Structure formats: C-alpha cells, structure tokens
Structure 1
Amino acid sequence: MENYADLMFRGAVAELQKTEGTFEKYQTAYKHRTSTELGPDEIGFIRRRDSFYLASITDDGWPYIQHRGGARGFVHVVGPNRLACGDYRGNRQFITMGNLQAEERVSLFFMDYMNHARLKVQGKASLKSVSEADPDLVTRLGSSEVPAERILVIDVVAIDWNCPKYIPTLYPEDALREVVGPQIAKLQAENEALKSEVARIRGA
C-alpha cells in the first residue's frame, strides 16, 4: 500500500498544512503508520461493519457518495489488500457503476458510531456482473439469501484511521437488542404475571 500522506497531502493541501504548521508532523507520523497490507485491526474492523460509504467521481469531475449496507460482515477481505462484496438490485440509476467505467479511483468510509472509530480507504474499484466475475469469488460471496447482480471489488491503495472527534454516538439495532432485549423480556414476563394476578383478584 501507499503512504496515505503521500497520496492525499499534495498541492494546495500541502501548502495549507505548511501554513498551519502541520505538514512536517503529518509527514513524520504517516511514515510510521504505513504498512504493506491490511493488518488484523483493519481486517477485524471491516468484517464487523454492516455498512460503508463509497465515493466515486463522474466523468466530468462531480463527486458522488453512496451508502452500501448489508448483514454484518457482508464486506469480505479476500486478499492482503483486496475487499469484495455483492452488489444488489437497487434503484437502477447506475451512477456508481457508470462512474467506475471512466474512473476506478474511489474513497470509502467504514464507520463505527458506537465506538467513535472511522477507517478511511483509498482504492481502485471494479464492478462486474456475476457472470463476468471470478467464479471462486462469486461462490465465496454467495451466502446471501438475495442473489447479487454484480460483484464489487476494491483494491486498497492506502488507509487511514481518522480522528474520532465529532463522531456521534449511535447504537446499531443488533447491539441494542443484545443489551436491552433481556430486560424487555423480563419486563414482559413481569407484566404478564401482574395481569394474571389482577385477573385472579378480580375473580375472587
């Protein structure tokens, strides 16, 4: 993988950092944060996500951001620097698909709102129909009850763990069910017992 600072902190961005006195700090820090492939922290984080944001670019330079979601773990790490997931039937606008035909570069945000964590991924993406994609990869991603129309593959170029500041605290539904579910079940059981007792007293 490439150094995230070398890839993103260029031109006007670098000049602004120099003016603000942060350029050298970032150049030094990102040399130590760059690795050749996705590590255990990144792999585990990606596998636990149930959604991500994907930014692509139109052929005349407009950015476009799309949300992709699925069951937790729907994004698979299929190589040292490669991610893949199924692409399902949507609203048939084909904006991302069309953008990738002209420009393969993309940016992804993987968010963990509950723990205030954010992984940024710069990569090169391809979107192929199931019939055109690697058969082994199609089989590996084929566990969903809804068949995918296409396979999205992202070759990771650079990554960055972003500052957790200002990330709001949001709790995913499955986490809430795990924490609150037993309490709700207990309250429901107590409520049924109380209703039975009230009915018994009235009957007496």
Structure 2
Amino acid sequence: MPDHAPPSSDIAFTPAVKAAQAARGARHLYARMEARGGFHTRLTPDLVQFLGEIDTAYLATASADGQPYVQHRGGPKGFIRALDEETLGFADFSGNRQYVTVGNASENPKAFLFLMDYAHRRRIKIWGELRAEEGDAALLAQLMPDGYGAIAERALLFRVRAWDVNCPQHIPQKIDAALVAAALHDRDARIAALEAEVARLRSLVSDAGTPASAD
C-alpha cells in the first residue's frame, strides 16, 4: 500500500500524460506541483466569486465506451452555483432535446467543466462527476436564475474532484454586448453633459462681450 494518496492532479496526469511530459522536457515542472498535493480539490472563495461573474461554460461528458461530447452551457452570470465545498449545481434548460449529456451521465458519471471569462481572459478547468436530479422542485427553484425566461427540465449536480487555473495565453478578448452598450451609454451621457456645459460657457462669454445699450 502507498504511504500517501496520489496527487489530485493525477486525475489529468495519467501515466501516458506523464510520459508525454517527460519526453518533451516538462515533467519536472509538474512534479513540483504534485509534491505540493496537485490540483485544488475543494471550492474556494475565489472560485465561488469567479462562478458569480461568468455566463459561459463548456460541459464535457463521455459515453460508456468513451465517445466524448462537449456542450456549451450558458445563462445569466452566476447560473452555476456552489452548493457546498465540493458540489456545483445548475439548472438544465430546455434545448434541442437530444439529451446526449443526460444519457452519457447515466452510464458514465465522469465529466469536465471548462469555465470561460473572455472579457478578462480567464479560464478554469474542473474535473468531477455529473448526475441529473429529476423531479426535485425545491432544488430546481434554488438553481433557477431569478427572472430568466428559460424552461428548466432538471437539476444537474457536479461533484468536484479537482480543479486548476489555466494561463491566459491565446484567449481572445471578447466583451459582453451588455457591457459595451452600458459603456457607450455612459460615454454618450458624458458627451451630452460636456456639450451642454460648453454651450453654457459660450453663452456667458457672449453675454459678457455684448455692450450695454444706451438709453
């Protein structure tokens, strides 16, 4: 029996991956991380805050025979919620009704979440297990974003096994349309206020330069 548990990063760094790292001169970089225990295994306040700021994620599952599938998941900011220190939850909104993700999870719970923040060029990888909760109205009400017009069919619960932060390299910066619209509105309001002030000052200068009429 080993004296200690393997590092949590072994969920991604399989023997084949480690061999590829060694062959390409990168193994020593990750060996140091493994010596410290590997990836995070519990949700931290920083990660919970990050979840509250994103509206885009990619959810990967695989069938029992390993056929992969990746699906975009989106909603209002904060639609993925931390239920405890190792569980994430989100509502499964009605879509094209293919149910590939739900079907895969029923026979192979291993899943992966890729969280994206394009505006700030941040991304987080999360490994875990996915299960669908059908018919739990209270849980679904807890996970359904306030005021969002989608139809929620079920709750999806993601048990976190490990997570890690990716570097920002090669992430294109994409700004949310609502943020751009708000910034343009603020700019236009500021321009209007400045134009009004310029007009007021010109009027004062004009009035000051006009000679008084003789009686």
How would you bin the TM-score normalised by the shorter chain? 0.7 to 0.9
Matches of 2:8 and 2:189, distance apart in 1 = 48
For the Cα contact (< 8 Å) 2:94–2:151, is it kept in 1? no
1:105 maps to which of 103, 110, 118: 110
Match of 1:117? 122
For the Cα contact (< 8 Å) 2:87–2:160, is it kept in 1? yes
Match of 2:176? 172
Where 1:140 maps in the other structure, the secondary structure is helix
Q: How does 1:145-160 map to 2 (within 5 A)?
A: 145-160=149-164
Match of 1:182? 186
How big is each residue's C-alpha offset from its partner over 1:136-177, in whole Å with a ceiling of 9 and x where there is no partner? 422312434434111011000000101211111111123212
Amino acid at match of 1:137: L
Matches of 1:99 and 1:137, distance apart in 2 = 22
User: % of aligned pairs identical?
Assistant: 32
Amino acid at match of 2:9: A
Where 1:114 maps in the other structure, the secondary structure is coil
Q: How far did residue 23 of structure 1 move?
A: 1.4
With normalisation by structure 1, the TM-score equals 0.82
Matches of 1:102 and 1:147, distance apart in 2 = 25
Matches of 1:166 and 1:4, distance apart in 2 = 26
Q: How far did residue 81 of structure 1 move?
A: 1.0
Match of 1:19? 23
Q: How far did residue 125 of structure 1 move?
A: 0.4
Matches of 1:152 and 1:25, distance apart in 2 = 35
Task: Give the unaligned 5+ runs of structure 2.
Answer: 1-5, 196-215
Distance 1:189 1:59, change over 3 A: farther
Task: Give the unaligned 5+ runs of structure 1.
Answer: 192-204
Match of 2:143? 141
Match of 2:166? 162
1:37 maps to which of 25, 39, 42: 42
Could you tell which deviates more after superposition, 27-36 or 71-80?
27-36
Matches of 2:41 and 2:15, distance apart in 1 = 25
Q: Larger Cα Rg: Structure 1 or Structure 2? A: 2
Where 2:186 maps in the other structure, the secondary structure is helix
How big is each residue's C-alpha offset from its partner over 1:49-70, in whole Å with a ceiling of 9 and x where there is no partner? 1120001102332111100111
